[in-house]
Amino acid sequence: MCDVVTADPSFQALFDELSAAWARVRSVRAAIAAVSDIVLLPSPLLARYQAEEPLGTDVCVPGPSDGQVPNLVPVAVDWALVNEWRDAASRLQDSADAELPAARR
């Protein structure tokens, strides 16, 4: 089954999406850095720009709070995408005719 999934153009397109997402993140950070070179960013914005985002899906990060009690919220994850691919892989276990999701471009 591994060979079927990894050779499928849809799965390869998913990796293309990953590369494009990394390029977008780098580009957004570079744009903020370019502005920061010219305009003195306030500390909260500078901290957001310099922050590193966790890659795990089971991580919580600080969210809105009342100033007294920290509020932790789960990191943003497109669970519809995750579940779509998980369900498709499960269907492939049951039927070789099952299809993988189309790439989202």
pLDDT tens by residue, 49-97: 888 888 999 999 888 877 777 788 999 999 999 999 999 999 998 888 8
Q: pTM value?
A: 0.77
In sequence order, which residues have a C-beta less than 8 Å from that of residue 81 and are 6 or more positions away? 104
Is position 100 within any domain?
no
Is position 102 within any domain?
no
Is position 104 within any domain?
no
Helix (H) or strand (E) holding 20: helix 9-38
Is position 86 within any domain?
yes
Q: How many domains does the structure of the chain reveal?
A: 1
Is position 105 within any domain?
no
pLDDT digits (tens, 9 = 90+) for 19-52: 999 999 999 999 999 999 999 999 989 888 888 8
Domain containing residue 8: 2-94
